[in-house]
């Protein structure tokens, strides 16, 4: 199966691949390079969501998409929390190329307030949390509406996570599914 590279030019999105930086819950880069890939089915739905956001003066900002199974193990070994991370033995929708972590940005490139940061592993990150400010709730529902209208399913514990319906029908893939590796080379 071929994964498609998602770029700003191909999909009209902004890429800020968090796991290629220390700005993630591990505090260090997990990926050796900031790349964004999706299965063709997911790439088409991402394009549809971007097209729906554009007339509203909004763009999608991508934090993560395809996550090699090796990276899922790194995250799980750091924090084995099934409320926020898929057990790599079962396979993550990210490792199948059919999930994306994202937010909305305005015309100036500023992120809309979603009530928490990406990867904030607390109940405040749940889609239906009503203790966050009303503005953040509206922004979450706006993102939910755009993504749902484009054919995405959501994960209730993470406002930023969307995936295709029936993700398990897609195979789990590793770093070797890419033309060039995303994971750091092992030091030997």
| Structural domain includes residue 185 | no
Residue pLDDT, tens place only, 69-93: 999 999 999 999 999 999 999 999 9
Number of domains within the chain:
1
Contacts of 35 (CB under 8 A, 6+ apart): 5, 17, 20, 178, 180, 182
The encoded tokens of residue 8 equal 């700003």
Nearest to 121 by CA among 173, 91, 78: 78
Predicted TM-score of the model (pTM): 0.96
Burial class (CB in 10 A: 0-12, 13-18, 19+), 52: middle
The encoded tokens of residue 29 equal 């880069």
- Domain CATH for 7: 3.30.1380.10
Residue pLDDT, tens place only, 112-148: 999 999 999 999 999 999 999 999 999 999 999 999 9
| Structural domain includes residue 182 | no
Determine the Cα–Cα distance for residues 113 and 110; give it in Å rounded to an integer. Answer: 9
| Structural domain includes residue 186 | no
Is 158 in the active site? yes
| Structural domain includes residue 170 | yes
- Among candidate residues 5, 111, 158, 166, the one labeled active-site is 158
| Residues spanned by the domain of 127 | 3-177
């Amino acid at each position: 199966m071929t994964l498609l590279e998602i770029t700003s030019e191909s999909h009209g999105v902004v890429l800020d691949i968090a796991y290629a930086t220390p700005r993630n819950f591990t505090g260090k880069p997990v990926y050796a390079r900031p790349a964004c890939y999706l299965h063709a089915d997911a790439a088409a739905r991402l394009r549809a969501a971007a097209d729906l956001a554009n007339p509203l003066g909004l763009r999608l900002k991508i934090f993560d998409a395809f996550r090699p199974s090796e990276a899922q193990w790194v995250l799980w070994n750091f924090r084995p929390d099934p409320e926020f991370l898929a057990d790599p033995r079962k396979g993550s929708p990210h490792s199948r190329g059919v999930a994306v972590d994202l937010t909305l940005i305005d015309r100036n490139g500023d992120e809309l307030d979603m009530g928490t940061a990406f990867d904030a592993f607390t109940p405040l990150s749940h889609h239906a949390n009503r203790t966050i400010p009303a503005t953040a709730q509206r922004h979450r529902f706006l993102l939910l509406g755009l993504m749902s209208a484009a054919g995405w399913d959501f994960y209730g514990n993470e406002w930023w996570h969307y995936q295709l319906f029936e993700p398990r029908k897609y195979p789990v893939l590793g770093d070797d599914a890419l033309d060039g590796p995303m994971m750091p080379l092992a030091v030997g």
